[in-house]
């Protein structure tokens, strides 16, 4: 199974193309594409130049839900959920009062 | 890549690809007066260097950038030497109407010796202010004081310009006594009296001057402009330009201050000479400015300096032999270009002085 | 530090106005993404995995307190409350919106900062010794020259569309804390005879896919000729650098293909043709720029140092000698155990700005090891500084130690990455802390890159990790023996690739081998040369 993803032009957020042909930050709304429908979706997405940047097809596991699969699954999982490094905001000194 | 990559279009416009070998571009530029450089993609920056090379190589014809280009590149293209930009895709006309950069950090690659960079403008403002302050400080001062102070302020970028003429020994002796390592520039015009050249060697040796630099006309230029060696007869100003003005410009490249032998009593435009002047680019130091002819004579006597042999037979001021005749008074320059409407060869140019006054209009907050 | 004059201000303002217009043009479609991309890169705007990334220039790694406060403000207002200091002395924000970037650039311009040419095929930030102006072993302060190079390289009309990015580094000390051996152009200040300052010029160093040590092409160049000579090098590269293959486009490939002698000859020929008064740096301008970089007045010596062993340890490891009496150089390691290397929160940035102002001439430096430095600390104030830093998690006494790890953003952030690097660094640092190895091993450099582009500088680490993609799994190659500063050297692969967990264990094991076998005062490379790779192979791969 495939899905079409890109980054939103205005703010760079990760978005997925829905079956209505709009782009959503919610992966649950991503259209699941087959080998047949993938290319058409990609071509359509490439025309959305005022909405997104750099659309491309990704592999997802078949079935319900949205689980990145294939060779780039780590990368797409990170795009989905964010960095795996823990928040810098939780570091000590988060509430500094100027001297 | 052979020259068949260049296409002739109407009215002798030669089109070159932006990735052409510079040597081939030069070959085309030798006979073209309109060149188009085609950019296959706006990301290929070779065309900018190509334009700069063509201009620096002396190409003066029309140079147009064509092909795949962005309006955002217009200023850089013009600065690199293109005089017009014509992109295949016009895009939005409004984006092409953009202001040129008001200030530049780098010389325009396509117009070196053109606009001053920010670095240069800042420096000239400081140089001018300092020269004016020094001139005031040294008003009426004696030669030793003026020279010592100048060598201190402009250390490492000051040279003495000498003709090794009638009064040269004084200034040279002054320098030798203060800092004999200071470069001494001599314009070898190839039209000197033989006596001048002998005198030069004699003085350099006697005074122990360590760094004498001989500035000669460019051989190629001389071959082109004075092939029959008689330019002085046809056009004296052009001969000075070839044999003095241009070699001096090259020789002075590394120097910001020049020590001269000029004196107020030389007359003409030199009557109001100051100890230190700013000519718009460089500072001129005139240590001997305030001396009278009597001062000069007595210094000569006191220092027991050899005189230029020609002074014994009536030459008061000595330049190149085609344009120098004896004069009636010691120290007089009336024998120079006698019968011509010139009193200066051009290496000290009043027009440059005037530009210096306007240079005061640069104001940096 | 350098203060803009009216010309500098106008140029930066013109640039921010230009980019504002370019963003509008992209949003309206007047510019395609293909056209916009190089333009936004020239203004430091990348597109990463999750978001845009803005890389703000910190010219030659020098910051004022006011500027650091503005960086904190940008992090708070436009980002997620933190920033990342980079291996080229810049700062990166990982979450700005494109539509906000013009406003961010305006805010930065108000404190004489910008994001010009921090990306793209342009001349990038010139980097230098973070201890410049303070280190006792300096021949001359490199920073005035860095500022002159900054101006010369900013929006250079001929060199804005190079075959590839271009990086220049300058050192004023023979110790070379700027790694000039692995830069496109490396410059070393040298005194000429007659005491006229000049440069030794090296060209063609670099890391990435094909790491190379630079070749020296000139023993001595009079300093005032620097910009003319750089112009000559760039012109040769702009015309002859490869444009057909992204991975062969750096100048190091050109120098290798031509051979250093032929390359140097081409540069000399170009230089002779273009040198002149318009390119020579005027003496008054050298003087003016240098006048902004003066040493601090003497400080107050520290008498009655606290007996607290934590303070003593921090002072021993993180505080370096200063050439001016009563002053000290303090490294603020952004490497708390288990934290993302090189990150600082907005609150931490504000604190450091305040402390610099209070005790350290309001000046801060950024290092290529992703740390900050207070270069002119008042010695007597060291205890107060320590207490303040400790409270904010900024007093980790590991500057130059194994847990002072350099890590690129890696697959957690970067579009180009094959593997993650930050979590690896976090695990390694916690393991080293637990084992007490920072103290036992002494100084050793550990660097991690998440892909072959080597932004983590692993090639020049004593212990390096390179993340690769093996059939969708993150696998790590371990290298040993790299050296960044001084006699640069490229590390060598030790053995087969390792899983993430094994890579963490392997690095800790190698540090332990060094701790066990290293003789007193011996650097890692010397130990490695002496004992060979076998003890390390055994520790990593087993007998």
Q: How many CB atoms lie within 10 A of CB C337?
A: 17
- At residue C80, the 3 state secondary structure works out as coil
Q: Are B47 and B177 found together in one domain?
A: no
In a domain, A99, yes or no: no
- At residue A80, the 3 state secondary structure works out as helix
Q: Express as a percent the part of chain C with pLDDT over 70.
A: 100
Residues 211..230 of C with a Cβ closer than 8 Å to B: which? Answer: 227
Counted domains in chain A: 1
Whole-number pLDDT of residue B358:
41
Q: Is C324 or B7 the better-scoring residue by pLDDT?
A: C324
Q: Are C314 and C280 found together in one domain?
A: no
Residue C244 structural domain: 135-290
Q: What is the pLDDT of residues C124-152, one digit of tens each?
A: 999 999 999 999 999 999 999 999 999 99
Distance, in Å, from the CA atom of A18 to the CA atom of A29, rounded to the nearest integer, reads 6
Q: How many CB atoms lie within 10 A of CB C526?
A: 12
In a domain, A59, yes or no: yes
A16's enclosing H/E stretch is strand A14-17
Mean pLDDT of chain A: 87
In a domain, A45, yes or no: yes
In a domain, A58, yes or no: yes
Matching residue, tokens 């020994």? B169
**With contacts defined as CB-CB under 8 Å, which chain C residues touch A15?**
none
Q: Are B224 and B346 found together in one domain?
A: yes
Q: What is the pLDDT of residues C398-427, one digit of tens each?
A: 999 999 999 999 999 999 999 999 999 999
Q: Are B96 and B132 found together in one domain?
A: no
**With contacts defined as CB-CB under 8 Å, which chain B residues touch C29?**
none
Distance, in Å, from the CA atom of C370 to the CA atom of C448, rounded to the nearest integer, reads 12
Whole-number pLDDT of residue B267:
77
pLDDT tier at C247 (50, 70, 90 boundaries)? very high
Q: Give chains near C: 3+ CB pairs under 8 A.
A: A, B
Residues 95..114 of C with a Cβ closer than 8 Å to A: which? Answer: 95-99
Q: Are B83 and B9 found together in one domain?
A: yes
Q: What predicted TM-score, i.e. pTM, was given to this entire model? A: 0.92
Distance, in Å, from the CA atom of B201 to the CA atom of B192, rounded to the nearest integer, reads 13
Residue from C24, C30, C157, C241 to probe the interface with B (highest B Cβ count within 10 Å): C157
DSSP line for B150-211: HHHHTTTSEEEEE---TTHHHHHHHHHHH-TTS-EEEE--S-B-HHHHHHHHHHHHHHT---
Whole-number pLDDT of residue B351:
52
- Of B213-217, B264-268, C428-432, C499-503, the one with minimum mean pLDDT is B264-268
CATH number reported for the structural domain that contains residue C94 in this entry: 3.90.480.20
- At residue C441, the 3 state secondary structure works out as helix
Which among C351, C413, C469 has CB closest to A83? C413
- Of B95-104, B228-237, B309-318, the one with minimum mean pLDDT is B309-318
Q: Are B223 and B344 found together in one domain?
A: yes
Residue from C242, C251, C266, C284 to probe the interface with B (highest B Cβ count within 10 Å): C284
Q: Are B236 and B341 found together in one domain?
A: yes
Residue A49 structural domain: 2-82
Q: What angle do CA C17, C19, C23 make, to 5 degrees?
A: 120
Q: Are C174 and C217 found together in one domain?
A: yes
Q: Is A98 or A45 the better-scoring residue by pLDDT?
A: A45
Residues 154..173 of C with a Cβ closer than 8 Å to B: which? Answer: 154-163
Whole-number pLDDT of residue B11:
56
Q: Are C463 and C383 found together in one domain?
A: no
In a domain, B339, yes or no: yes
**With contacts defined as CB-CB under 8 Å, which chain B residues touch C225?**
none
Asked if A83 reaches chain C (Cβ–Cβ under 8 Å), the answer is yes
Boundary of a domain, candidates C333, C357, C391: C391
ipTM: 0.95
In a domain, B144, yes or no: yes
In a domain, A93, yes or no: no
Distance, in Å, from the CA atom of C444 to the CA atom of A52, rounded to the nearest integer, reads 45
Which residue in C109, C85, C93 sits closest to C19, CA to CA? C109
CATH number reported for the structural domain that contains residue B243 in this entry: 3.40.50.620
Residue B161 structural domain: 118-359
Q: Are C188 and C240 found together in one domain?
A: yes
Q: Are B123 and B19 found together in one domain?
A: no
In a domain, B57, yes or no: yes
Q: What is the pLDDT of residues C307-322, one digit of tens each?
A: 999 999 999 999 999 9
- Of A43-52, B191-200, C97-106, C109-118, the one with minimum mean pLDDT is B191-200
Whole-number pLDDT of residue B316:
63
Q: Are C469 and C523 found together in one domain?
A: yes
In a domain, B253, yes or no: yes
Judged by CB atoms closer than 8 Å, whether chains meet at C158 and B113 is answered as no
Q: Are B191 and B333 found together in one domain?
A: yes
Judged by CB atoms closer than 8 Å, whether chains meet at B72 and C22 is answered as yes
Report the b/e string of B210-243 with b at 16+ CB within 10 A. eebeebebeeeebeebbeeeebbeeebeebbbbb
| Angle formed by the axes of helices B118-137 and C283-290, nearest 10° | 100
Residues 464..483 of C with a Cβ closer than 8 Å to A: which? Answer: 469, 471-474
Which residue in B57, B5, B72 sits closest to B36, CA to CA? B5
**With contacts defined as CB-CB under 8 Å, which chain A residues touch C339?**
86, 88, 91
Q: Are C373 and C505 found together in one domain?
A: no
Q: Are B139 and B86 found together in one domain?
A: no
For residue C383, the distance in angstroms to the closest alpha carbon of chain B comes to 42
Mean pLDDT of chain C: 96
Q: Are C16 and C91 found together in one domain?
A: yes
* Whether residue A98 has pLDDT greater than 80: no
Judged by CB atoms closer than 8 Å, whether chains meet at A96 and C394 is answered as no
Boundary of a domain, candidates B45, B73, B103: B103
Both tokens of C203, joined, read 């060209």
Judged by CB atoms closer than 8 Å, whether chains meet at B126 and C284 is answered as yes
CATH number reported for the structural domain that contains residue B75 in this entry: 3.20.20.70
**With contacts defined as CB-CB under 8 Å, which chain C residues touch A73?**
472
Asked if A80 reaches chain C (Cβ–Cβ under 8 Å), the answer is no
Q: Are B81 and B192 found together in one domain?
A: no
Residues 189..218 of C with a Cβ closer than 8 Å to A: which? Answer: none
Q: Are C379 and C435 found together in one domain?
A: no
Q: Are B49 and B125 found together in one domain?
A: no
Boundary of a domain, candidates B71, B103, B135: B103
In a domain, C295, yes or no: no
Percent of chain C that is helix, strand, coil (3-state, to 5)? 40, 20, 40
Residue A64 has phi, psi (to 5 degrees) of -70, 165
Nearest residue of chain C to residue A90 (CA atoms): C345
Q: What is the count of residue pairs from B and C with beta carbons less than 8 Å apart?
A: 135
Counted domains in chain B: 2
Q: What is the pLDDT of residues B145-169, one digit of tens each?
A: 999 999 999 999 999 998 887 778 8
Which among C340, C350, C471 has CB closest to A88? C340
In a domain, B108, yes or no: no
* Whether residue A51 has pLDDT greater than 90: yes
Q: Are C43 and C67 found together in one domain?
A: yes
**With contacts defined as CB-CB under 8 Å, which chain A residues touch C27?**
9-10, 50
Counted domains in chain C: 4
CATH number reported for the structural domain that contains residue C179 in this entry: 3.30.413.10
Q: Are C350 and C442 found together in one domain?
A: no
In a domain, A77, yes or no: yes
pLDDT, mean of residues B297-306:
84
Q: What angle do CA C86, C144, C191 make, to 5 degrees?
A: 110
Judged by CB atoms closer than 8 Å, whether chains meet at A50 and C413 is answered as no
**CA C61 to chain CA mean position, Å:** 8
Judged by CB atoms closer than 8 Å, whether chains meet at C239 and B95 is answered as no
Q: Considering just the CA atoms, what is the radius of gyration of chain A in Å?
A: 17
Q: Are C380 and C415 found together in one domain?
A: no
Which residue in C485, C421, C492, C431 sits closest to C463, CA to CA? C492
Q: Give chains near A: 3+ CB pairs under 8 A.
A: C
**With contacts defined as CB-CB under 8 Å, which chain A residues touch C50?**
12-14, 78-79, 82-83
Which residue in B308, B315, B266, B258 sits closest to B291, CA to CA? B266
* Whether residue B92 has pLDDT greater than 50: yes
Q: What is the pLDDT of residues C348-398, one digit of tens each?
A: 999 999 999 999 999 999 999 999 999 999 999 999 999 999 999 999 999
For residue A16, the distance in angstroms to the closest alpha carbon of chain C comes to 12
Q: What is the pLDDT of residues B65-87, one digit of tens each?
A: 999 999 999 999 999 999 999 99
pLDDT, mean of residues C40-61:
97
Q: Are C333 and C280 found together in one domain?
A: no
Whole-number pLDDT of residue B5:
52
Q: Are B202 and B246 found together in one domain?
A: yes
């Amino acid at each position: 199974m495939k899905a079409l993803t890109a980054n939103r032009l205005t703010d760079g957020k990760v978005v997925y193309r829905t079956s209505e042909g709009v782009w959503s930050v919610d992966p649950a709304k991503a259209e699941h594409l087959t080998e047949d429908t993938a290319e058409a979706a990609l071509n359509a997405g490439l025309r959305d130049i005022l909405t997104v940047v750099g659309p491309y097809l990704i592999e997802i596991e078949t079935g319900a839900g949205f689980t990145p699969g294939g060779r780039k699954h780590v990368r797409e999982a990170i795009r989905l959920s964010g960095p795996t490094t823990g928040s810098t905001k939780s570091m000590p000194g988060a509430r500094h009062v100027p001297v | 890549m052979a020259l068949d990559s260049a296409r002739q279009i109407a009215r002798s416009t030669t089109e070159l690809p932006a990735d052409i070998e510079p040597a081939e571009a030069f070959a085309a530029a030798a006979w073209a007066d309109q060149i188009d450089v085609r950019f296959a993609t706006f990301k290929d920056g070779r065309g900018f260097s190509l334009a700069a090379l063509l201009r620096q190589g002396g190409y003066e014809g029309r140079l147009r950038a064509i092909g795949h280009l962005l309006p955002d590149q217009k200023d850089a293209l013009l600065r690199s030497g293109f005089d017009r930009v014509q992109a295949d895709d016009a895009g939005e006309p409004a984006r092409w109407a953009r202001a040129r950069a008001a200030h530049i950090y780098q010389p325009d690659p396509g117009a070196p010796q053109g606009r001053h960079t920010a670095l240069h403008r800042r420096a000239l403002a400081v140089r001018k202010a300092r020269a004016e302050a020094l001139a005031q400080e040294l008003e009426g001062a004696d030669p030793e004081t003026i020279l010592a102070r100048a060598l201190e302020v402009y250390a490492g970028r000051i040279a003495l310009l000498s003709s090794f003429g009638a009064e040269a020994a004084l200034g040279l002796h002054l320098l030798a006594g203060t800092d004999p390592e200071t470069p001494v520039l001599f314009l070898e015009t190839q039209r000197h009296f033989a006596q001048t050249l002998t005198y030069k060697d004699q003085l350099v040796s006697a005074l122990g001057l360590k760094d004498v630099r001989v500035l000669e006309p460019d051989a190629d230029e001389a071959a082109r402009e004075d092939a029959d060696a008689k330019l002085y007869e046809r056009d004296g100003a052009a001969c000075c330009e070839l044999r003095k003005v241009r070699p001096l410009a090259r020789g002075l490249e590394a120097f910001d201050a020049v020590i001269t032998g000029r004196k107020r009593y030389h007359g003409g435009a030199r009557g109001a000479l100051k100890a230190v002047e700013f000519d718009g680019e460089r500072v001129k130091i005139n240590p001997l400015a305030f001396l009278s002819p009597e001062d000069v004579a007595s210094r000569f006597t006191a220092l027991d300096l050899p005189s230029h042999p020609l002074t014994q037979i009536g030459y008061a001021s000595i330049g190149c032999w085609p344009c120098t005749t004896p004069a009636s008074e010691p120290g007089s320059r009336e024998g120079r270009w006698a019968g011509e409407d010139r009193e200066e060869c051009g290496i000290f140019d009043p027009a440059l002085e005037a530009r210096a006054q306007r240079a005061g209009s640069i104001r940096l907050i | 530090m350098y203060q803009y004059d009216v010309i500098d201000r106008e140029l930066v303002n013109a640039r921010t106005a230009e980019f504002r217009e370019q963003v509008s043009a992209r949003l309206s479609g007047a510019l395609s993404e293909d056209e916009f991309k190089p333009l936004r890169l020239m203004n430091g705007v990348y597109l990463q995995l999750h978001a845009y990334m803005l890389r703000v220039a910190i010219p030659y790694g020098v910051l004022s307190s006011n500027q650091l406060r503005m960086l904190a403000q940008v992090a708070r207002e436009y980002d997620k409350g933190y920033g990342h200091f980079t291996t080229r002395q810049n700062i990166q924000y990982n979450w700005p919106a494109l539509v906000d970037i013009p406003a961010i650039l305006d805010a930065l311009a108000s404190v004489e900062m910008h994001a010009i040419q921090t990306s793209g095929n342009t001349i990038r930030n010139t980097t230098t010794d973070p201890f410049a102006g303070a280190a006792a072993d300096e021949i001359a302060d490199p920073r005035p020259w860095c500022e002159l190079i900054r101006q010369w390289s900013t929006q250079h009309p001929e060199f804005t569309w190079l075959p590839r990015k271009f990086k220049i580094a300058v050192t004023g000390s023979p110790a070379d804390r700027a790694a000039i051996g692995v830069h496109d152009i490396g410059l070393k200040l040298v005194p000429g005879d007659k005491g006229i300052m000049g440069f030794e010029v090296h060209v063609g160093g670099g890391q990435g896919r094909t790491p190379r040590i630079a070749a020296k092409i000139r023993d001595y160049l009079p300093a005032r000729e620097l910009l003319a000579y750089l112009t000559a090098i760039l012109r040769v590269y702009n015309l002859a650098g490869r444009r057909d293959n992204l991975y062969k486009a750096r100048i190091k490939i050109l120098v290798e293909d031509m051979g250093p002698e032929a390359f140097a000859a081409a540069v000399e020929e170009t230089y002779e043709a273009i040198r002149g008064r318009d390119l020579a740096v005027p003496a008054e301008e050298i003087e003016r720029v240098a006048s902004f970089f003066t040493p601090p007045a003497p400080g107050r010596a520290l008498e009655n140092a606290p007996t607290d062993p934590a303070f003593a340890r921090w002072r021993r490891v993180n505080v370096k000698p200063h050439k001016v009496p009563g002053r000290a150089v303090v490294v603020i390691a952004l490497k708390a155990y288990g934290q993302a290397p090189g990150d600082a929160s907005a609150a931490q940035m504000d604190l450091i700005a305040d402390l610099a102002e209070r005790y350290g001439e309001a000046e801060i430096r950024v290092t290529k090891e992703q740390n900050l430095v207070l270069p002119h600390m008042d010695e007597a104030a060291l205890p107060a500084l320590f207490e303040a830093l400790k409270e904010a998690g900024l007093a980790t006494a590991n500057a130059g130690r194994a847990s002072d790890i350099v890590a690129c953003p890696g697959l957690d952030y970067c579009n180009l990455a094959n593997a993650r690097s930050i979590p690896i660094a976090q695990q390694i640092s916690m393991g080293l802390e637990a084992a007490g190895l920072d103290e036992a091993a002494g100084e050793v450099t550990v660097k991690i890159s998440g892909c072959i582009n080597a932004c983590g500088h692993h090639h020049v680490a004593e212990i390096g990790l390179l993340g690769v993609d093996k059939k969708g799994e993150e696998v790590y190659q371990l290298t040993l023996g790299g050296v960044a500063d001084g006699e640069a050297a490229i590390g060598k692969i030790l053995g087969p690739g390792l899983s993430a967990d094994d890579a963490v264990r392997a690095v800790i094991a190698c540090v332990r081998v060094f701790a066990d076998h290293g003789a007193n005062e011996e650097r890692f490379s010397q130990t490695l040369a002496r004992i060979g790779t076998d003890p390390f192979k055994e520790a990593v791969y087993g007998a």
